[in-house]
Structures are given as structure tokens and as C-alpha cells.
Chain A
Amino acid sequence: MAEVDGEFTAFVNERGAALLRVAYALAGSQHAAEDLLQNALAKAYVRWPRIHGDAEPYVKRILYHDQVSGWRRRARRAEVPVAELPERPAAGDDSDLRLLVRDALRTLPPRQRAVLTLRYLEDLSVEQTAALLGCRPGTVASQSTKALARLRKLVPGLDGLTNRTEVTR
């Protein structure tokens, strides 16, 4: 048991920060991210003898599925409200636009945010994203489309940008 605890602790110490970034992108707040990650790590700990050689992918799968499936998300997803629509940034002001998009990302439903996180933080393809979330590639595409539509509504400045086919196919 001490060996398991030692391996697990070493893993969390080494990879915890990277995993917390993913959890934060999914959950949108520090408290929710830590709760999400601790839950995933706890499940990994229980199964450690079987997954310790492949722990990081396992924890990530738990993170994504805990966030987008099951009932847990029902209580969590309304935690990051946006009081009002962000204003359109001045033309060419990329940093302002990034900040507005970042804030708008927090308002997306969990599945949509998970799709964008997998695609843009993890750099996964549509097919890889679908496989990890357990849905069809078409569902990933439709969720991407919904997410972009919502972001455009919240951040009108996105209208001026090119929408590459790979985002929504």
C-alpha cells in the first residue's frame, strides 16, 4: 500500500499542474477545477495497480466524462455566469478579443467547452475527440458549431475571423 501511495503521490506531484490546467479549462473556475481533478485522481487511486503505467490518459478520460456526462455537471454548470454581453473590441485589438473569448468560453455548456478544450488545448482531431467523448464525429461537429454560434453571439468581434473547415466538420 505504501508503494501505491508513493507512486500515486509522485504522479500527482509531477503531472498535477498540467492536469489542473485541463480541469480548469473544462470547469472554468479554480474551485470547480480542483474538485473535478480531485475526483478523477481519487478514481485513479482506487484503480492504481491496474492503470499506474497509463495514469495520465485515464485521469483525462475521467475529467472529460465527469464534466460532460452524468449528473454531476447539472449542479456545476451554472457556476460561472456572465453578467452582460462583452462589447465588440476595436478592430485589430487581438489581445482584447482573446480576453473576451476566454471569458465567453466560461459560459459554454460543459460538452461544448469540452469539445473546444480537446480540439484546441489537447490538439485532438474530430475523430479523436469523438472517440474520447464516446460520441460520433458528427456530434463533435455539431457541438463545435453550437459553441461557435454562442461565442459569436457573445463576442461579435469573432464575426470578422475566418472559420476554417476543420473546426466544424
Chain B
Amino acid sequence: MSTSLDETLRTAVHDLADGAAPAPDLAWRALGRGRRLRRRRRVGTAAAALVAVLAVALPFVLLRPRPAPPPTAPPVTVDPSPVIRSAPGPNWADGPLVLPGDWVVTGTRARAGAAGPSYLLDRGRGRYYGNDRYDAVLPAPTGSLVAVWDDGRPRQVGLVDVVRGTTRWYEPGRALGSPNWSPDGRSLLFTSNRVGHPGFVVLSAAGTVRSHAVDTGRYPCTDSCPFLWSRDGREVLLPQTDPNGPRSEAVRHPRRGVQFFAADSGRPTRFEPLPGDPAGPWAWSPDGRLVVVQGQKEPLLVEAATGRVVNPLPVADVVWVGDDRLLYRLPYGSRDFVLADTTGRELVRQPLPEDLALAEVTIAPR
């Protein structure tokens, strides 16, 4: 050979890059996408991913229950003086990061576009450990399982049992979307993105893979269409597009509700006429009567049975941590965690350590 490995690789990488064809309308398309992104961010939809499980009674004596506001509630008002807790110091990794409502940060990863390590909470030892072994991790909201991904194992997901010290690898299917842990931390739900094969896949902790096809002609969803767990983990749900509403790629598609399916069989079970998309199983109140959704224009608190709007909220990606308390993370600015009442009134603010201000986090009950 007349060339070194370095030179061959350099040339090949340049050859690969040279394969890019001109994109004359790149600026115009990027401008359009940027405007849509800015518009969505302004209405507060780009919240951090929150992963959590069942609600825990709030121990805060400072929190006074407030009656539910009337249907025609005024725009969200923010209490000018919520309780502001201090940010954990530089040794934050030595103990669990406890959030208002007695929830805890279970994992972190650098957000897209930023450098930084990822951390996992070791519940047994009560401290965080850096992850540099796997390319992505997703801790279950309860129990000892962590879903892991390794770029060297395409199409596989690993289930690490941190108590037993075991790792098992599974191949749940192709073209699967982002997974979600069931509330009991025993099953992973994937949305199938295979063209012509809409549906969902459930991977159990025992390694059982069950795929369920869904008739999207009968249950149509457009725009963002992930399958999500119901609050009790027995069903999964899919947002349903309102076929009569005007659609534009500049705004969210109109919704007529969410359709539920049995998680174990894929059988359609029930329908709730929600005017938007829930963020996950904990978007429902503990009694299932109320639910927080991302409406077409703004986050909303609505009645699950009727879809009636109770009041707007500042953030849609919330978890209920009590009968009338919501926990969410501010999507911009300080990115503190906030405990609020059902009107959106801030009660407690908890800053994260400076190291994690820009990180995405997963949370669960303590």
C-alpha cells in the first residue's frame, strides 16, 4: 500500500462529506423551522423530559390547598413570593437531589447541543455516579432497572439490574421511537415508526417482547404521535387528530382526544376527549379526574371525562405530586423545579446544582 491508514481515512471522510448535494433552499427551510421552534418555545412546550411514578403525599406545611378555579379562570398568575430553596453545592453528587413533593432526580444527561457527562442515582448508596460506559441510559422510576444503549449494539436495548449487577440485551424491533418506562418500572413502551407498521411494542423486565399493531386509519394521529402509558400502567394511549380542524405545519395539529389500548393485548379500550396531548402517565391527577395537556396553543388543565378546560397552565410537562399539586421544571431561564397549585401559582422553587442547570433530568418519587 502506498498510503497510511490516516491518509486513507482522511480521504474517505472527505469523500463522504463531498457526497452532499447542494441544498439551495436551505436558508428558507431553516428559517421556517426556526420560526416554528421559537413559536413553540414561547408557549412553553419545550420542557425538560420528566420521568416519574406514583404520587406521594406532600409534607409541606406551607402549602395550603386551594379550591379549583371556575372554568373561565383568568390567565395564570404567579405568586410573587414562592418559597425559594437554596441550590445544592458543588458536592451535590454525594446525596440524592430531593425536589419539592419529596421527589428525587434519578438521572441526568447533557442536553442536545451541550457537552457534559450523565449521572445516575444509586438509590442503595444514596449518591450519584457518572456514566461513561453506555451511550444512553434511562433509569426506571422505581425498582432497580436501568435501560441502556450502546452504539456498538445497534437495535438492542440493555436492561441493567443495579442491585443484582446483571445486564441483559434485547432486540425489541426496528425503527422504534423513544421508550417510556411503565409506572411500576417493569416494562418499556416503544412506538413503532416503521412505515406501514404503526403500533407499539412492550418489552417486559423478563425480556418478553410483545408487538401490537394499531389501525391508524380508524385511530388517526398526525404531528407528534408517541404511545404513552396510562396512569395505572395497564393501558397505553395515542393522541387522536381532529379530522375536522384546520391543519398547518406551523402549529400543532388539532386534537379530538386520546384513544386507550390494553397494554397486554393492544385491544382498544376507551376514549377521553382531551383537547391536547398529555406528557405522560403522571399528567393525570391521582383520582384521574383532571389531566394536564399541551393544547394547540397553550398548556391546559382539563377535565378528563369531558375535556372541559379548567384553566391554562405555564407548562404542560408536569407530574402530579398530590391531589392538587404539580411539579414541573421551568423550560427556560433558571430552569428551576417548581411546585405549583392547579392554577399554576408557584409555591416552592428548587434550583438544581449549577452543573445541571442545562442538563436534562429524569425524576421519580424519593
Among B33-47, those with CB < 8 Å from A are 33-38, 41
User: A101-B8, A163-B5 are known contacts. Are A13 and B34 too (CB-CB below 8 A)?
Assistant: no
B17 within 8 A of A: yes
Note all chain B residues with C-beta closer than 8 A to A46.
Answer: 34, 37-38, 41
Note all chain B residues with C-beta closer than 8 A to A66.
Answer: 112-113
The 8 A CB mask of B130-153 against A (1 = contact, 0 = none) is: 001001100000000000010110
Note all chain A residues with C-beta closer than 8 A to B22.
Answer: 17
B20 within 8 A of A: yes
User: A30-B20, A74-B176, A146-B152 are known contacts. Are A105 and B8 too (CB-CB below 8 A)?
Assistant: no
Among A14-32, those with CB < 8 Å from B are 16-17, 20-25, 28, 30
When the two chains form their complex, are residues B154 and A20 in contact, meaning their CB atoms are under 8 A apart? no
Number of chain A interface residues as a range:
35 or more
When the two chains form their complex, are residues B136 and A21 in contact, meaning their CB atoms are under 8 A apart? no
A139 within 8 A of B: yes
A158 to B4, CA, bound (A): 9
Note all chain B residues with C-beta closer than 8 A to A162.
Answer: 4-5
When the two chains form their complex, are residues A24 and B5 in contact, meaning their CB atoms are under 8 A apart? no
B117 within 8 A of A: yes
Residues of B contacting A: mostly: mixed
When the two chains form their complex, are residues B176 and A24 in contact, meaning their CB atoms are under 8 A apart? no
Q: Which of B23-31, B52-60, B205-213 contacts A (4 or more CB under 8 A)?
A: B23-31
Task: Please give the distance in Å from B233's CB to the nearest CB on chain A.
Answer: 21
User: A66-B113, A78-B174, A164-B6 are known contacts. Are A111 and B33 too (CB-CB below 8 A)?
Assistant: no
A33 to B54, CA, bound (A): 41
B270 within 8 A of A: no
Note all chain B residues with C-beta closer than 8 A to A98.
Answer: 8, 11-12, 15
Closest to A143 in B: B151
A134 to B149, CA, bound (A): 17
Task: Please give the distance in Å from B119's CB to the nearest CB on chain A.
Answer: 13
B155 within 8 A of A: yes
Task: Please give the distance in Å from B4's CB to the nearest CB on chain A.
Answer: 5
B3 within 8 A of A: yes
Note all chain B residues with C-beta closer than 8 A to A58.
Answer: 113
A102 within 8 A of B: yes
A161 to B10, CA, bound (A): 13
B175 within 8 A of A: yes
A77 within 8 A of B: yes
A125 within 8 A of B: no
When the two chains form their complex, are residues A161 and B4 in contact, meaning their CB atoms are under 8 A apart? yes
A34 to B41, CA, bound (A): 22
Among A38-63, those with CB < 8 Å from B are 38-46, 58, 61-62
A73 to B152, CA, bound (A): 13
B16, B37, B136, B155: which has the most chain A beta carbons within 10 Å? Answer: B16
Q: Give the contacting residue for A160; candidates B1, B14, B16, B37; CB below 8 A.
A: B1
Task: Give 8 pairs: A residue, B residue, CB < 8 Å, sorted on A.
Answer: A21-B17, A71-B136, A74-B178, A94-B8, A109-B151, A135-B132, A161-B1, A164-B6
Question: What are the 10 closest A-B residue pairs judged by CB atoms, nearest first?
Answer: A45-B34, A134-B115, A109-B151, A24-B20, A41-B30, A12-B27, A101-B12, A161-B5, A42-B33, A42-B34
Which A residues are closer than 8 A to B by beta carbons?
Answer: 5, 8-9, 12-13, 16-17, 20-25, 28, 30, 33-34, 37-46, 58, 61-62, 65-66, 68-72, 74-75, 77-78, 91-92, 94, 97-99, 101-102, 105-106, 109-112, 116-117, 120-121, 131-136, 139, 146, 148, 151, 157-158, 160-164, 166-167
Which B residues are closer than 8 A to A by beta carbons?
Answer: 1-6, 8-23, 26-31, 33-38, 41, 109-110, 112-117, 132, 135-136, 149, 151-152, 154-155, 174-178, 193
